[in-house]
Amino acid sequence: MPVKITVIGGGSSTFVPQLMRLFVGSDMLRGSTITLMDIDAHRLEVMDRLCSILVEREGADLRIESTTDRRASLVGADFVIAAISVGGMDAWERDIEIPAKYGLYMAIGDSVGPGGIMRAFRHIPALVDVARDVSEVAPEAWVFNYSNPVTSIVTALRRCLPEVKSVGMCTCPSIIRRPRYMAEWAGVDPKEIVVPAPAAGLNHCSFMLDVRLQDGRSAFPLMLERALPPVIRWGLETYGVLPYCWSHVTEFFPALSQLVESYRGRLQGLEMQYGLHVHDMEHERARGIKWERLVQAWTSGQERDVTLNVLPSAEAIEVVEVMEALLANGHALHGLNVPNQGAIDNLPADAVVEVTSLVDGYGVRPVHVGALPEPLAATLKSHIAAQKLTAEAALTGDYKTALQAFMQDPQSQARLSMDDIEKLLHEMLCAHAEHLPRFA
């Protein structure tokens, strides 16, 4: 079924090849147009060449086009996939390192905490602009956002442009539909696991409420008898539910964000509790450079082995499966980030949650999964309050609201005095001023 798919952030040398693997492999998307859009003309040109080579060598019935004009890229789109990074790795590095000076140690820093809030401040205005264009030139299009922090971004999109069909996407919830890990933890054959498992929570802090075997038994008791990743064991023993986005989950609980090594002025790479290490931008940059060089070799003709088999795995990227379910009334269940609307009993109805959702010809609807353990819901409600304030501050550029978001953040509450919260906010706003014109 020919459609137009626009990729905002289409110059990405890591994400776009994974998407292309899915586009080429989809029979349903034959005859479709893939429009790549990016503000970086050079990176965009490279990815255009790579995608065109792939289409030619695989004999795929797809049309590739590219443009730096965002609005033009969206005209007539049926689906929009957004994956942007305002400020890139340098900004991400500041999101990790500046809070560390104040004693806040976050493993990744892209979801919650001061780093996640600042990332939202950078990303929300840009993505609201995308959604506004969609509302004007492609009002029936679905917008799938992969940019972090997913929850705050979708909260802002739904608030500003409720008429736009925006859905938050993440690779983490793909696990609820794939039994391999669950079977390994329970010590059973994957065929014995009932999937998809019911999921509930917030993006990067969501949980399988149960994992069932084909005979009706819960797999949780079997898991607790075996060796498990530390964060999984913590979730099962503490709340009786299974966290599935391990390193991210620890950032939502100040007591879990503890260093094993001593902080000596640089946080990246240090060991944390639960067998985790702080994200290291040097490793990220090295990986990115390696991949970019390979892409350059492919597109320049130095390396001719450009086939789907050499592209990175796209197993956890479910956006094409979601699109196919919408197009073909597929009645598929996926873990998606959408307004709660009563799906999770003890979280606010208007909160954006990550929850098992039905995707079919009528759209995307959250499935009622029941309640989270009450103590866990209480923690998530604090984050929801901070995320709503974050979205409001990003949209308005209001300093007082930004300060309230920092004050509401559980990490800042647990570790910092009021004076330090204000100093940290000021330092981070100054450090990111180039990308925060609304706070000028």
pLDDT (tens digit, 9 = 90+) per residue, 371-403? 999 999 999 999 999 999 999 999 999 999 999
Compute the C-alpha angle 37/76/123, nearest 5°.
40
Sign of CA dihedral 234, 239, 244, 246: negative
Q: What is the 3-state secondary structure (H, E, C) of 320-385?
A: HHHHHHHHHCCCEEEEEEEECCCCECCCCCCCEEEEEEEEECCEEEECCCECCCHHHHHHHHHHHH
User: Does pLDDT of 292 surpass 70?
Assistant: yes
* Residues 65 and 51 sit within 8 Å (Cβ to Cβ): no
Concatenated DSSP letters of 229-245 = -HHHHHHHHHHSSEESS
Q: DSSP assignment, residue 201?
A: E
Q: What is the mean pLDDT of residues 8-19?
A: 93
In the structure, what pLDDT confidence band is assigned to residue 314 with cuts at 50, 70 and 90? Answer: confident
User: How many C-alpha atoms does 90 have within 13 Å on its Cβ side?
Assistant: 6
Alpha-carbon separation of residue 45 from 41, 52, 300 (angstroms):
6, 11, 12
**Average pLDDT along the chain:** 96
CA-to-CA distance for 211 and 178, rounded, in angstroms? Answer: 12
Backbone Cα Rg of the chain: 21
In the structure, what pLDDT confidence band is assigned to residue 13 with cuts at 50, 70 and 90? Answer: confident
**Residue listed under structure tokens 């009450």:** 374
Q: What is the mean pLDDT of residues 306-333?
A: 90
The H or E element containing residue 35 is strand 32-37
CA-to-CA distance for 340 and 365, rounded, in angstroms? Answer: 9
Q: DSSP assignment, residue 316?
A: T
pLDDT (tens digit, 9 = 90+) per residue, 164-206? 999 999 999 999 999 999 999 999 999 999 999 999 999 999 9
Q: What is the mean pLDDT of residues 226-253?
A: 96
User: Does pLDDT of 288 surpass 90?
Assistant: no
Concatenated DSSP letters of 137-167 = H-TT-EEEE-PSSHHHHHHHHHHH-TTSEEE
Q: What is the CATH number of domain 89-106+170-279+318-440?
A: 3.90.110.10
Domain ranges for the chain, please list them.
Answer: 89-106+170-279+318-440
In the structure, what pLDDT confidence band is assigned to residue 12 with cuts at 50, 70 and 90? Answer: very high
pLDDT (tens digit, 9 = 90+) per residue, 98-120? 999 999 999 999 999 999 999 99
* Least confidently predicted of 68-82, 275-289, 343-357, 372-386: 275-289
pLDDT at 287: 77
